[in-house]
Amino acid sequence: MLLKTTKTALLKGIDQVLSTYQVAALTKQDSRVLYNYVKTSHDIFWGCRPTVLPPKKFFFPPHETLLDYTADGQIIAKIESKPLVLFGIHPCDLRGIQILDEAFADLHGDPNYLERREKAIIIGLDCHQTCDQDSFCYKVGAHYAKTGYDIMLYPLKDDQYLVEVATDRGNVFAEQFLRAIKGEEKELEEYQQAKAKAFESLKPFKDLEKFPELFQENTHHPVWEHEGARCLSCGSCVMVCPTCYCFNVTDDWELNMRAGKRQRHWDACMLHDFTTVATGENFRPTATARLHHRINRKFNYLMKKHGQSVCVGCGRCVRACLADISPKTIAEAINGEDEKEWN
């Protein structure tokens, strides 16, 4: 269903929905832009600026309790979830959410992630330009969102928006909270034409669809050692990535030893001991091996599984890396697009 509305109507809708849902969106705090809960629609930052952390934190928080237990053996599987409207999510991050949805649902449905996700309405906001030098969404086609949203907003002139309602959940929001009129398909077509024009000179990776095979064949390409040698194994790139979801699990008693919890925490395959086992054996002992693993998850192992690049080109890892290591540089070496002599 296609509707058309105004920014004023959207702001009003958000203020109304705040009575029953938490709302999270881009916000501005001092000079930083970050995803956060808002108290009123006026807290929302409408611009297009990259954030340090992606919105995955709302469904997969950096730390969360899985179990609460007592010393006498009462164990409760714990899930904290509240109805949430996630507002103004850009295409790259929508793609990230879609990948996490698939990962957490795969084989054994992760109850904590899925319950939070079930209670969320996701409202996307399309972009018609890249946000900065480090982003390369267009290289992997992630400047377009195909799914992963309940509603998509396409900005038109004069603070007007086309509203694509994609799911029943989106419809709940549109019907109850949004004053809108019918949108014209023609307007969306014109919007998409203008967007295609804006991105015309920004080409995708050469041979993107062949990346799994290319990366598999190029395990010993010199770019790995070249980039891996500079890596500090700090794990920052993993923390900020919208499609990284590995975790560690810890147990702690409270001081009185009568109750405790089992928690999970974001973990990073770039850290030295991620694969160390009790015998002291480390299956990925070098930074090069770890970088190879992380990048192959994006362009090979998981790309095969999800049928699309698992790097969404948001550029967060590039901005976070003190050693200036970028998936884009590596991909362009592997597909030969950089025409550089790496040996």
CA angle 328–26–165, rounded 5-degree value: 90
Q: For other proteins, which is the closer residue by CB, 76 or 322? A: 76
Nearest-CB residue for ligand FAD: 273
Determine, following the binding rule CB under 6 A, whether residue 235 of this chain makes contact with ligand SF4.
yes
Closest C-alpha to 25, from 48, 42, 45: 45
Number of residues that bind ligand FAD (CB under 6 A): 3
Among 278, 281, 324, 339, binds ligand FAD (CB under 6 A): 278
Q: For ligand FAD, which is the closer residue by CB, 72 or 281? A: 281
- Residue by residue, DSSP assigns 28-52 as EETTEEEEEE-SSGGGB--S----S
Among 6, 22, 192, 276, binds ligand FAD (CB under 6 A): 276
Burial grade of 324 (CB within 10 A; 0-12, 13-18, 19 or more): exposed
Number of residues that bind other proteins (CB under 8 A): 59
Other CB atoms closer than 10 Å to residue 172's CB: what's the count?
Answer: 14
Give the C-alpha separation, 202 to 208, whole Å: 14
Site for other proteins in 87-116 (CB under 8 A): 98, 101-112, 114-115
Q: For ligand FAD, which is the closer residue by CB, 168 or 281? A: 281
Residues 6+ apart with CB under 8 A from 322: 232, 234, 236
Q: Which stretch binds ligand FAD (CB under 6 A): 124-132, 218-226, 271-279, 287-295?
A: 271-279
Determine, following the binding rule CB under 6 A, whether residue 148 of this chain makes contact with ligand SF4.
no
Q: How far is the CB of 165 from other proteins (least distance, A)?
A: 15
Residues 6+ apart with CB under 8 A from 119: 81, 82, 83, 84
SS3 117: helix
Q: Which stretch binds ligand FAD (CB under 6 A): 97-105, 114-122, 169-177, 270-278?
A: 270-278
Give the C-alpha separation, 227 to 216, whole Å: 18
Among 246, 307, 322, 340, binds other proteins (CB under 8 A): 246
Contact 44, 24 (CB under 8 A): no
Contact 172, 2 (CB under 8 A): no
Contact footprint for other proteins (CB under 8 A): 66-67, 69, 71, 73, 75, 77, 98, 101-112, 114-115, 117-118, 147, 219, 245-253, 257, 260, 262, 264, 267, 269, 274-279, 281, 283-284, 289, 293, 296-297, 300-302, 304-305
Chain residues in the site for ligand FAD (CB under 6 A): 273, 276, 278
